Amino acid sequence: MNASGIAASSPYDQPWLSLDEQVDHLAARGLEFDSREDATAALTRIGYFRLTGYLRPFLRHRPDTPEDDTYIPGTSLDYILRLVDADRRLRQIILDGVDRIEVSLRMRLGHTLGEVDPFAHLNAATFDPTFVRRYKYARWLAGVSENHLRSGEQFVRTYAEKYDGDLPIWALVELLGLGQLATMYDGLRDDLATPIANDLGVPDRDLLRSWLAAINDIRNAAAHHVRLFNRYLVIAPMRPRNGSVPALAHLAEHPGAEGHPTGGFRIYNVAAVIAYLTQQIDPQSTWTSDMSGFVASFPRHRLLGADSMGFFDGWMFEEIWRG
């Protein structure tokens, strides 16, 4: 058993390679490049391990083995670098959409709870009893308190000097990241959570709770520079039932990869949810057109296209992308 809890079949025995040796190894595996200088520069910027992650779709497949470690003829460094740049742009677009959702969620939580009590977050009665009984509330509040104590924001110092130091909920939410906001929403009483969901055009709190969990997961991946374009979602957003969100009804018609442990959904599903929420938050938002433009400009290859992100034939004709 290794440190990740996975049964190990054999000890790791791959040697460290110098940059020159890495270039030789890639060339031996069939990667084409104009010059060794170009290859060395790419490895210096990106790293061998990360670069070969983008090369995985181009590994040969043979009848006797699932895949070998050489690349199909014509696999070029130039294309792979364009793919790396496209993935960087995808992360930027995703983070832009998440930013809009996070700021809007802060406002709605602060406004809704503040009407009940400026310090509603300090009152366990604000939250669902199950959330409180399972110590989720205590853990969440401890994390929030740590954020408060460590914050260097000017408004925190002002409250500490002028008042007793406790922040009203509409100020406190400015210290919370999306994960803490999503946990807070998850724990709210239904009479507080449902109106927030409805205000965002979401029919019920369970659907929004699922969406926020998926958006937070993809946000973390993007913020940590994980390869996104052909990523399977670790947490996939729940698909609306029975046409409850007409603009996203088509998600039910496009199942993920059969047998995949997390459902086999690609980034399309969470992109569609982000598109929907950004339109609900601001009908003038350009996020949907930004994402559509990105997909249209995605560097095509005979083995790779927008379907690697879960964008299916005719996706641009769906209601969510026509708005």
* pLDDT tens, position by position, 227-271: 999 999 999 999 998 889 999 999 988 766 555 665 689 999 999
What confidence tens digit (pLDDT) does each residue in 188-241 have?
A: 999 999 999 999 999 999 999 999 999 999 999 999 999 999 999 999 999 998
- Residues 37-46, mean pLDDT to the nearest whole number: 98
Which pLDDT score, from 0 to 100, does residue 243 have? 84
Ordered by start, the domain boundaries in the chain are 19-75, 86-322
- Cα 230 to Cα 69, 272, 307, distances in angstroms: 19, 16, 9
The mean predicted confidence, pLDDT, of the chain is 91
Closest by Cα among 263, 249, 253 to 203: 249
Name the DSSP class of 177: -
242, 264 Cβ separation under 8 angstroms = no
Name the DSSP class of 241: S
Mapped onto helix, strand or coil, the DSSP state of residue 59 is strand
Name the DSSP class of 47: -
Q: Is the pLDDT reported for residue 20 higher than 70?
A: yes
Task: Provide the percentage of residues in the chain whose pLDDT is more than 90.
Answer: 78
What confidence tens digit (pLDDT) does each residue in 281-298 have?
A: 999 999 999 999 999 999
Q: Is the pLDDT reported for residue 79 higher than 70?
A: yes
The span from the CA of 12 to the CA of 216, in Å, is: 33
Residues 6 or more apart whose CB falls under 8 angstroms from that of 44 comprise 19
Task: Provide the percentage of residues in the chain whose pLDDT is more than 70.
Answer: 89
Alpha helices in the chain (DSSP H): 19-28, 36-46, 48-55, 77-116, 129-133, 136-150, 154-162, 169-172, 178-187, 190-199, 205-223, 267-281, 287-297, 319-322
Closest by Cα among 62, 53, 61, 52 to 31: 52
The token duo for 99 is 């930013």
Which pLDDT score, from 0 to 100, does residue 10 have? 75
Which pLDDT score, from 0 to 100, does residue 262 have? 58
Q: Is the pLDDT reported for residue 3 higher than 70?
A: no
278, 284 Cβ separation under 8 angstroms = no
